[in-house]
C-alpha cells in the first residue's frame, strides 16, 4: 500500500478547501436525492410504473466526486462515472450552471436527463456513457492508450496528456472484462489512468463477499498498478490514536461486511451495544465509548476514507505521476441518508417523511429544494459559488466535432477470382502504400487474428504501434517470415490479445478520438465473425456512444467449411441488422467491397453517420463481369439486380454474399422454365430493411422530408416484379435476414439459409446438407409454384 504524503498546499488553504468540498458534498447529496425523489414522488405519474433512481449509490460517492471534480480534476482529464451515480454528475453541472432545472426535474422522463450518463442524449458534457457495468471502467484504460497513440503520432502534446478516470462501484470488480483489460493494459504499458472504487461492499442484491478483502490489491499490483487503500477517515484515525482506540481499529478490521452494514443502518446505540459486548472489557474501550454521544459514535464508526474529504484530496494530490492507480475508497452505501447500510438499499428510496427530515438537517427551507446554494447563507453561498467557478471543470474545453478527412476513390482489386477477405487486405494495402491522409489516420486492430483476417499486408506496410520500440526478433535473426513484426511509435496497428471485449472497447475508444482529442481516427478492426458474439455488449456499448469504426467480421458462415461448427457464424446478419448505429453490409464481389469501404470512410465521419460492419469470407469466387458502374449506387443502398426481372416475371432469387455462385447457377438452371426470372444481389439486408421500415414509420411520425416521397429502396427493387411473383431468398446465415423481403410487396417466399449449427465438411457436402446449393435454390423456386 502506498503512503500518502502531505498535500502540497498550506494548512490554512487546505482547511478552506476541505470546508468548501464538504459543503459541496452536502449539496451533491441533497440535489441527487431530491432529483430522484422528485421523479418518483412529486412528478405526475401516468403509467403506474416505478421511475427509479439510486439515492444510496449516489450518496456513497458524493464525497469522492466532490473531491475529484472540484479539486483533483484538470481540464484535460476525462471521467467515466458509475452509471447509478449519474444524478451526482448532473448535480455537479447544475452547480456549475451547465445544467438546467428543467432537465433535473425531467430526470428519467422523455427528453430529460438520462438515468445513466449518456454522451449522446444528456445535455451536460459526458466523457463516457455508462450503464453496462464494467465496460465504462475499462474504456478509460483503452482511451488512455488512444491518447498515447495520438501523442506518439504528434496529434496530442505530451504536456497536455489527460488522466482517464473511472469512478466505479465495487461490484463492477466482478465483471470479467475488468481483468481482460488489466492484462491488455499491462502489455501496452498503460499510464495516466485512475480507477476509484466506491468500496461500499454492497452490490444490487446484498453485501459482498468478505473473502475478497485484499485480493484486489494483489491482482492490480501484479498488473503494474499502484493501489492506494483509503480505509479510514481522519476522525476514525484520531479515535484509533486515543486510549482504547487500537481495540476499536482491530474490531473494525475483523468485522464482516454484512455486520458492519447492519450496524451502520441501526445507528449509534447499536454500535455502542455491540462494541461493549465484543470489546468492552479491553483496556480503555468503555471510557472511550462513553466519551461519544450515540450520534458521534455513529459518525466515528462510519468515517471511512471515501467519505473523508481530507483523506481523498491527500490521496489524489499524492498520485500525480502517470502510474496507473487504483484507489480503493471505503464507503457506506447510502451514507448520510436514513438508508445507510441497509442491504436492500440499492433501489431503496427515502419516503417523503425521510426526505423532509434530510432537508431539515441540511437547513434547507421548504420550497428552496432546487436552490443550488440553499441553506448556506449569503456569504457562504457566494464563496462556494466562486470556489466552484475556479474549478478546472469550469475551464474544460468543449468537445470538437473532429476534422474532416478526404476520402479518395478506392479502386477494386483486380483478379477474375477473389474472396472478399483477400480483397479487403488488398484494398487496405493499396491505401497503405498511397500518400493519402486517410491512410495515415487509419488504425487497425485485431484480437490475435491479424494474419488470418488479411490485415497482415497493411501491418507490413505501416508497422505495429508501441510506445517503446521492440525489434522483430525473427527478422533480426534473418528467419524468413512473410510478416514483419517490429513495433514502434509510428506504427498504425494495435495488436491485442485474444479477448474480444478488449477489441471492441479499443474500437470504441479509437472511434471517439475526434470528440475526445480533436483528431479523427479511422479504426478498422477485424475479428472472426462468430466471435463478434463474444464481445457483443462491448460492441453495443461503442455504438451506444456513437463511436465510429469499421468492423470486419471475417471469415463468416458455413462457408468456412472445414473449420467446423464452432467457427461457422449463423446469426451475425441479424446482429448487423439489429444493432443501432452500425450499418451492416455483406458483399459478394470485390468491387462491391471497395465501394462499401469508400462509403464507410465517409459515413464514419458524417454528423449523422454511424459505424459500419462488413461480413466477409475466404471463399474465392469468380468476379462479376460489369458492363458499367450502374450497379454501384444501388449496391450502396442495400441491393441491385444482377439480372433484371423480365416483364411479367413470376419469381426472383434474392441472395447475399458468399453464395453468389450458387444463386447464379440456379438462375441459369431456372431461366428457361421461369422466363424473366430476376436475380437480386442484396448487399445490405440492414439498409434495405431500415429504409423500408423508416418509410413506413414516416407516415405516422410526420418526419418524412419532402424528397423522400420516393419509395424505399426495397420497394423500388421489388417493384420491378409483378404483383403475385414469388421470391427465393438465400444467404449463408440466418434466413430471417432476407425472408422479410416477402412482406415488402406481399410476395410468397421460400427462404433458405442456416438455422442450425454447422459441422466440418467440404463446401459441396455442406451446401447440399444445409440447402444452400443451386439444387436447393431450384427446389425452393419450384415450391413457390406448388
Residue numbers of the site for ligand TPP (CB under 6 A)? 57, 60, 83-84, 132-133, 169-172, 198, 200, 202-204, 333, 346
From ligand TPP, Mg ion, none, interface partner of 450 (C-beta below 5 to 8 A by class): none
Closest separation in Å from C-beta 64 to ligand TPP:
11
CA 231 – CA 647 distance, rounded (Å): 80
Q: Is 81 helix (H, G, I), strand (E, B) or coil?
A: strand
CA 362 – CA 368 distance, rounded (Å): 11
Q: Cell 498498478, residue?
A: 225
Question: Toward ligand TPP, which CB reaches closer, 130 or 325?
Answer: 130
Quick one: which of 77, 122, 148, 170 contacts Mg ion (CB under 5 A)? 170
DSSP label at residue 625: P
Half-sphere exposure of 663 (CA within 13 A, CB side): 31
Cell numbers standing for residue 490: 509510428
Question: Toward ligand TPP, which CB reaches closer, 330 or 770?
Answer: 330
Number of residues that bind Mg ion (CB under 5 A): 5
Binding segment (CB under 5 A) for Mg ion, from list 167-175, 684-692, 741-749, 753-761:
167-175
From ligand TPP, Mg ion, none, interface partner of 172 (C-beta below 5 to 8 A by class): ligand TPP
CA 752 – CA 775 distance, rounded (Å): 12
Closest separation in Å from C-beta 58 to ligand TPP:
9
Binding segment (CB under 5 A) for Mg ion, from list 112-120, 165-173, 533-541, 667-675:
165-173
Closest separation in Å from C-beta 348 to ligand TPP:
11
Question: Toward ligand TPP, which CB reaches closer, 25 or 592?
Answer: 25
Binding segment (CB under 5 A) for Mg ion, from list 155-163, 166-174, 179-187, 601-609:
166-174
Closest separation in Å from C-beta 332 to ligand TPP:
10
From ligand TPP, Mg ion, none, interface partner of 132 (C-beta below 5 to 8 A by class): ligand TPP
Question: Toward ligand TPP, which CB reaches closer, 134 or 463?
Answer: 134
Are 118 and 53 in contact by the 8 Å Cβ rule? The answer is no
Question: Toward ligand TPP, which CB reaches closer, 132 or 581?
Answer: 132
**CA 502: distance to chain centroid?**
11
**CA 249: distance to chain centroid?**
41
In terms of Cβ atoms closer than 10 Å to its own Cβ (0-12, 13-18, 19+), residue 243 is exposed
Q: Is 444 helix (H, G, I), strand (E, B) or coil?
A: strand
CA 262 – CA 240 distance, rounded (Å): 22
Question: Toward ligand TPP, which CB reaches closer, 83 or 733?
Answer: 83
Q: Cell 418518483, residue?
A: 40
Question: Toward Mg ion, which CB reaches closer, 103 or 200?
Answer: 200
Q: Is 725 helix (H, G, I), strand (E, B) or coil?
A: coil
Closest separation in Å from C-beta 651 to ligand TPP:
47
C-beta atoms surrounding 338 within 10 Å? 18
Closest separation in Å from C-beta 579 to ligand TPP:
17
From Mg ion, ligand TPP, none, interface partner of 354 (C-beta below 5 to 8 A by class): none
Question: Toward ligand TPP, which CB reaches closer, 91 or 682?
Answer: 91
Closest separation in Å from C-beta 79 to ligand TPP:
16
**Cis amide leading into 565 (omega within 30):** no
Closest separation in Å from C-beta 736 to Mg ion:
40
Closest separation in Å from C-beta 173 to ligand TPP:
8
Cell numbers standing for residue 654: 434474392
| End-to-end C-alpha distance for the chain, whole angstroms | 77
From ligand TPP, Mg ion, none, interface partner of 84 (C-beta below 5 to 8 A by class): ligand TPP
The CA-based angle 29-30-35, given to 5 degrees, is 105
Closest separation in Å from C-beta 225 to ligand TPP:
19
Closest separation in Å from C-beta 162 to ligand TPP:
24
H or E, element range at 538: helix 536-544
Rg (CA), the chain: 30
Question: Toward ligand TPP, which CB reaches closer, 60 or 568?
Answer: 60
From Mg ion, ligand TPP, none, interface partner of 153 (C-beta below 5 to 8 A by class): none
From Mg ion, ligand TPP, none, interface partner of 322 (C-beta below 5 to 8 A by class): none
Is residue 732 a contact point for Mg ion (CB under 5 A)? no
Closest separation in Å from C-beta 233 to ligand TPP:
18
Question: Toward ligand TPP, which CB reaches closer, 201 or 689?
Answer: 201
Closest separation in Å from C-beta 21 to ligand TPP:
20
Question: Toward Mg ion, which CB reaches closer, 171 or 682?
Answer: 171
Q: In the sheet where 726-731 sits, what is the strand order?
A: 639-643, 678-682, 651-656, 726-731, 748-752
Closest separation in Å from C-beta 729 to Mg ion:
49
The CA-based angle 27-29-33, given to 5 degrees, is 115
Closest separation in Å from C-beta 229 to ligand TPP:
17
Question: Toward ligand TPP, which CB reaches closer, 204 or 290?
Answer: 204
From Mg ion, ligand TPP, none, interface partner of 346 (C-beta below 5 to 8 A by class): ligand TPP
Question: Toward ligand TPP, which CB reaches closer, 197 or 550?
Answer: 197
Binding segment (CB under 5 A) for Mg ion, from list 198-206, 369-377, 397-405, 714-722:
198-206
Binding segment (CB under 5 A) for Mg ion, from list 171-179, 506-514, 519-527, 670-678:
171-179
H or E, element range at 24: helix 11-37
Is residue 202 a contact point for Mg ion (CB under 5 A)? yes
DSSP label at residue 102: H
What are 680's strand-pairing partners?
Answer: 641, 654
From Mg ion, ligand TPP, none, interface partner of 57 (C-beta below 5 to 8 A by class): ligand TPP
Question: Toward ligand TPP, which CB reaches closer, 169 or 447?
Answer: 169
The CA-based angle 122-126-132, given to 5 degrees, is 85
Question: Toward ligand TPP, which CB reaches closer, 333 or 396?
Answer: 333
Cell numbers standing for residue 572: 451475425
Question: Toward ligand TPP, which CB reaches closer, 132 or 669?
Answer: 132
From Mg ion, ligand TPP, none, interface partner of 38 (C-beta below 5 to 8 A by class): none
Chain length of the chain: 786
Cell numbers standing for residue 268: 449509534
Q: Which of 694, 526, 702, 681 is nearest to 608 (CA)?
A: 694
Closest separation in Å from C-beta 199 to Mg ion:
7
Pair type for strands 621-622 and 417-418: antiparallel
- Give φ, ψ of 81 to 5 degrees: -100, 130
Cell numbers standing for residue 458: 497493411
From ligand TPP, Mg ion, none, interface partner of 204 (C-beta below 5 to 8 A by class): ligand TPP
Sign of the Cα torsion 589, 594, 597, 602 reads: negative
In terms of Cβ atoms closer than 10 Å to its own Cβ (0-12, 13-18, 19+), residue 48 is exposed
Is residue 172 a contact point for Mg ion (CB under 5 A)? no
Q: Which of 290, 201, 203, 204 is nearest to 252 (CA)?
A: 201
What are 748's strand-pairing partners?
Answer: 726
Is residue 200 a contact point for Mg ion (CB under 5 A)? yes
Is residue 169 a contact point for Mg ion (CB under 5 A)? yes
Q: Nearest-CB residue to ligand TPP?
A: 169
Question: Toward Mg ion, which CB reaches closer, 66 or 200?
Answer: 200
Binding segment (CB under 5 A) for Mg ion, from list 162-170, 274-282, 550-558, 733-741:
162-170
Is residue 421 a contact point for Mg ion (CB under 5 A)? no
Helices (H), 329-472: 352-361, 378-389, 420-433, 437-441, 456-462
CA 3 – CA 737 distance, rounded (Å): 59
Q: Which of 229, 232, 161, 222 is nearest to 195 (CA)?
A: 229
Using CB under 5 A, list all residues that contact Mg ion: 169-171, 200, 202
Amino acid at each position: 500500500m502506498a503512503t500518502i504524503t502531505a498535500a502540497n498546499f498550506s494548512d490554512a488553504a487546505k482547511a478552506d478547501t476541505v470546508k468548501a468540498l464538504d459543503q459541496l458534498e452536502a449539496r451533491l447529496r441533497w440535489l441527487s436525492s431530491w432529483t430522484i425523489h422528485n421523479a418518483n414522488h412529486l412528478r405526475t405519474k401516468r403509467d403506474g410504473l416505478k421511475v427509479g433512481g439510486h439515492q444510496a449509490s449516489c450518496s456513497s460517492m458524493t464525497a469522492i466526486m466532490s473531491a475529484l471534480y472540484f479539486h483533483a480534476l484538470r481540464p484535460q482529464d476525462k471521467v467515466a462515472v458509475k452509471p447509478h451515480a449519474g444524478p451526482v454528475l448532473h448535480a455537479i453541472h447544475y452547480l456549475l450552471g451547465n445544467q438546467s432545472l428543467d432537465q433535473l426535474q425531467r430526470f428519467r422522463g422523455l427528453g430529460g436527463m438520462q438515468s445513466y450518463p449518456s454522451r449522446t442524449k444528456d445535455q451536460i458534457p459526458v466523457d463516457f456513457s455508462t450503464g453496462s457495468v464494467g465496460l465504462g471502467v475499462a474504456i478509460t484504460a483503452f482511451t488512455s492508450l488512444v491518447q498515447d497513440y495520438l501523442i506518439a503520432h504528434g496529434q496530442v502534446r505530451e504536456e497536455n496528456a489527460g488522466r482517464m478516470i473511472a469512478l466505479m462501484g465495487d461490484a463492477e470488480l466482478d465483471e470479467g472484462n475488468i481483468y481482460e483489460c488489466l492484462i491488455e493494459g499491462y502489455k501496452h504499458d498503460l499510464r495516466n489512468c485512475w480507477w476509484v472504487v466506491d468500496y461500499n461492499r454492497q452490490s444490487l442484491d446484498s453485501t459482498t463477499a468478505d473473502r475478497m478483502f485484499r485480493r484486489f490489491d494483489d491482482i492490480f499490483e501484479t498488473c503494474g498498478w499502484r493501489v492506494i487503500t483509503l480505509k479510514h477517515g481522519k476522525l476514525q484515525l484520531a479515535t484509533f490514536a486515543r486510549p482504547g482506540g487500537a481495540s476499536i481499529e482491530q474490531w473494525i478490521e475483523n468485522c464482516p461486511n454484512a455486520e458492519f452494514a447492519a450496524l451502520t443502518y441501526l445507528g449509534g446505540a447499536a454500535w455502542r451495544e455491540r462494541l461493549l459486548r465484543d470489546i468492552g472489557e479491553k483496556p480503555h474501550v468503555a471510557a472511550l465509548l462513553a466519551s461519544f454521544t450515540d450520534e458521534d459514535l455513529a459518525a466515528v464508526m462510519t468515517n471511512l476514507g471515501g467519505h473523508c474529504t481530507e483523506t481523498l484530496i491527500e490521496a489524489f494530490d499524492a498520485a500525480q505521476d502517470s502510474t496507473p492507480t487504483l484507489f480503493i475508497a471505503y464507503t457506506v452505501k447510502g451514507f448520510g441518508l436514513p438508508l445507510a447500510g441497509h442491504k436492500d438499499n440499492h433501489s431503496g428510496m427515502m419516503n417523503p417523511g425521510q426526505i423532509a427530515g434530510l432537508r431539515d438537517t441540511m437547513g434547507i427551507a421548504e420550497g428552496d429544494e432546487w436552490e443550488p446554494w440553499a441553506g448556506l447563507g449569503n456569504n457562504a453561498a457566494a464563496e462556494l459559488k466562486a470556489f466552484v467557478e475556479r474549478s478546472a471543470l469550469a475551464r474544460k474545453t468543449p468537445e470538437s466535432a473532429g476534422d474532416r478527412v478526404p476520402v479518395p476513390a478506392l479502386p477494386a482489386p483486380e483478379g477474375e477470382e477473389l474472396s472478399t477477405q483477400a480483397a479487403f487486405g488488398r484494398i487496405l494495402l493499396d491505401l497503405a502504400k498511397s500518400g493519402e491522409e486517410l491512410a495515415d489516420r487509419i488504425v487497425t486492430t485485431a484480437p490475435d487474428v491479424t494474419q488470418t483476417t488479411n490485415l497482415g499486408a497493411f501491418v507490413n506496410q505501416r508497422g505495429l504501434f508501441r510506445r517503446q520500440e521492440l525489434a522483430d526478433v525473427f527478422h533480426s535473426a534473418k528467419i524468413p517470415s512473410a510478416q514483419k513484426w517490429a513495433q514502434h511509435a509510428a506504427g498504425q496497428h494495435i495488436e491485442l490479445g485474444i479477448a474480444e471485449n478488449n477489441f471492441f472497447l479499443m474500437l470504441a475508444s479509437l472511434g471517439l478520438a475526434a470528440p475526445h482529442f480533436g483528431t479523427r481516427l479511422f479504426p478498422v478492426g477485424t475479428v472472426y465473425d462468430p466471435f463478434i458474439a463474444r464481445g457483443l455488449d462491448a460492441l453495443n456499448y461503442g455504438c451506444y456512444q456513437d463511436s465510429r469504426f469499421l468492423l470486419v467480421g471475417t471469415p463468416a458462415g458455413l462457408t468456412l467449411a472445414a473449420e467446423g461448427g464452432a467457427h461457422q457464424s449463423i446469426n451475425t446478419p441479424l446482429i448487423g441488422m439489429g444493432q443501432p448505429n452500425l450499418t451492416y453490409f455483406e458483399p459478394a464481389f470485390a468491387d462491391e467491397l471497395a465501394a462499401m469501404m469508400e462509403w464507410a470512410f465517409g459515413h464514419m465521419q458524417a454528423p449523422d453517420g454511424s459505424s459500419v460492419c462488413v461480413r466477409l469470407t475466404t471463399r474465392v469466387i469468380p468476379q462479376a463481369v460489369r458492363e458499367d458502374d450502374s450497379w454501384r449506387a444501388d449496391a450502396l443502398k442495400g441491393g441491385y439486380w444482377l439480372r433484371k426481372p423480365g416483364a411479367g416475371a413470376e419469381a426472383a432469387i434474392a441472395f447475399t454474399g458468399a453464395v453468389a455462385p450458387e444463386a447464379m447457377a440456379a438462375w441459369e438452371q431456372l431461366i428457361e422454365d421461369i422466363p424473366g426470372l430476376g436475380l437480386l444481389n442484396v448487399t445490405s439486408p440492414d439498409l434495405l430493411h431500415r429504409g423500408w421500415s423508416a418509410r413506413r414509420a414516416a407516415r405516422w411520425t410526420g418526419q418524412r422530408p419532402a424528397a423522400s416521397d420516393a419509395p424505399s429502396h426495397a420497394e423500388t427493387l421489388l417493384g420491378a416484379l409483378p404483383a403475385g411473383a414469388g421470391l427465393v431468398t438465400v444467404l449463408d446465415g440466418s434466413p430471417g435476414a432476407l425472408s422479410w423481403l416477402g412482406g415488402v410487396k406481399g410476395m410468397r417466399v421460400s427462404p433458405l439459409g442456416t438455422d442450425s449449427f454447422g459441422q466440418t465438411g467440404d463446401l459441396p457436402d455442406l451446401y447440399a446438407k444445409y440447402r444452400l446449393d443451386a439444387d436447393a435454390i431450384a427446389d425452393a423456386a419450384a415450391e413457390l409454384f406448388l
